[in-house]
Amino acid sequence: MVSRAAVYEIHSIEQLLKLTALVASVISILILLWYLVRRPPLGRLTKVMLLFGLGVMPLGVALTGNIAGFEYTLKRPFCGSCHVMLPYTEDAADPASNSLAAIHSRNHAFGEESCYNCHADYQLFGAMTTKVNGLKHLFYYITEYANTGPYGEGGKPIHMYKSFSNGMCTRCHSTTAPSWLAREDHAGMLDDIRKGDAKCIDCHSGEKIHPRAFAHGGSGRPPVAAAAQAGQKEAHE
C-alpha cells in the first residue's frame, strides 16, 4: 500500500468549520437530489431523510458557515477584497513598510486581524455595530466606489464615520505602563489623554498610520520612498 499525504490540512478552527459546513451541505444536497429524482412516497423513512436534508444538515451549514464567515470578516484579506481598501491593506501587509498599520500588523497580537483589532467598536455591542457599519461600507462601495480605478483613486477620499477614540490605542498602550510614561509628551498630557481631550491621532496622525491612503495625502500605490522615510522617522522617534 502506498501512503498518501493529506490533500487538505486543517490549521485553524475556521478551516474546520468551513469543512464541516461543506460536508453537511454535500450530504444535504445528495438527500434532496435523491428525493427530486426518485420522488418516493412520503413514508416515514422519506420524512426522516428529508428532515435531515431540509432541516438538520442545512442548520449545521448555516451555523458553521456563519461562524466561519464572521471569523473571515475579521481578517485583513477580507477588508482588502474591496479594491478601495488596497492602499490600506497592502501597506499593512508590507514587511518593508514602517507605517503604524504595518508595525501593528507584524505584531502577533494583531496579525491578520489588524484592521478589525484597531477599528472595531469596543463596547458591549461593539462587534454588532462594527458589522452594521460593514454593511454600510458595502452599500457605499457598490453605489459610489465600484468603478474608481485600481486603488479607488477616482472616488472620494475615505473617512471614518467617527473620530478614532483614544480607547482603541489604550486597550494595549496602557497609560500606566512605565515605558509609555517615560515619553515626556505622554507624561505631560496624561490627564488630557485619559479624558480624551488630547487625541492619540493628533500626534500619531493619519499619514503615519496609513501613508498610502488618499485621505492622508498618499498616492494609493505601492511603496513610495517618501512614505517609507516618513515611517522610518516615526519608528526612530
Partner 1 sequence: MISRLTIRRLVLVSTITTLVSLGLMVMGIVFPKPILLVLAMSLGQLFGTLSLALYLLAIVLDLQGVGEHEDLRPHIGLGGEGGGEPK
Show the cell assigned to 102: 504595518
Q: DSSP assignment of 11-59, as one string? A: -SHHHHHHHHHHHHHHHHHHHHHHHHHH-----HHHHHHHHIIIIIHHH
Q: Is 133 in the site for partner 1 (CB under 8 A)?
A: no
Other C-beta atoms closer than 10 Å to the C-beta of 7 total: 5
| Amino acid in the structure at residue 63 | L
In the numeric block, the cell 434532496 is attached to: 32
Of 112 and 206, which CB lies nearer to partner 1 in the complex structure? 112
Q: Taking a C-beta distance cutoff of 8 angstroms, is the pair 230, 207 a contact?
A: yes
Residue 160 binds partner 1 (CB under 8 A): no
| Residue 187 touches partner 1, criterion: CB under 8 A | no
Task: Indicate whether 82 belongs to the interface with partner 1 (CB under 8 A).
Answer: yes
47 is a site residue for partner 1 (CB under 8 A)? yes
Measured CA to CA, the distance from residue 178 to residue 181 in angstroms comes to 5
Q: Among residues 66 and 205, whose Cβ is nearest to partner 1? A: 66
Under the criterion CB under 8 A, does residue 80 sit at the interface with partner 1? Answer: no
For residue 68, the tally of other CB atoms under 10 A from its CB is: 21
DSSP 52-116: IIIIIHHHHHHHHHHHHHHHHHTSHHHHTTSGGGHHHHHHHH-TT--SHHHHHHTSTTTGGGHHH
By CB under 8 A, residue 81 contacts partner 1: yes
Q: Is-contact 223 87, C-beta < 8 A?
A: no
Contact 225, 207 (CB under 8 A): no
Compute the least distance from the CB of residue 41 to partner 1, in Å: 4
CA distance 101 to 231: 10
Kindly state the smallest distance separating residue 65's Cβ from partner 1, in Å: 5
Span near partner 1 by CB under 8 A; candidates 95-103, 129-137, 178-186, 228-236? 129-137
CA–CA distance, 149 with 137 (Å, rounded to integer): 18
Q: Does 55 bind partner 1 (CB under 8 A)?
A: yes
50 is an interface residue for partner 1 by CB under 8 A: yes
Please select the residue that binds partner 1; options are 1, 7, 109, 135, rule is CB under 8 A.
Answer: 135
Q: Which of these ranges, 59-67, 165-173, 186-194, 196-204, lies near partner 1 under the rule CB under 8 A?
A: 59-67
Q: How far is the CB of 206 from partner 1 (least distance, A)?
A: 24
Q: Supply the minimum distance, in Å, between the C-beta of residue 14 and partner 1.
A: 10
Which span sits near partner 1 by CB under 8 A: 23-31, 147-155, 158-166, 210-218? Answer: 23-31
Interface ranges with partner 1 (CB under 8 A): 18, 21-22, 25, 28-29, 32, 35-36, 40-42, 47, 50-51, 53-55, 58-59, 61-62, 65-66, 68-69, 72-73, 78, 81-82, 134-135, 137-138, 141-142
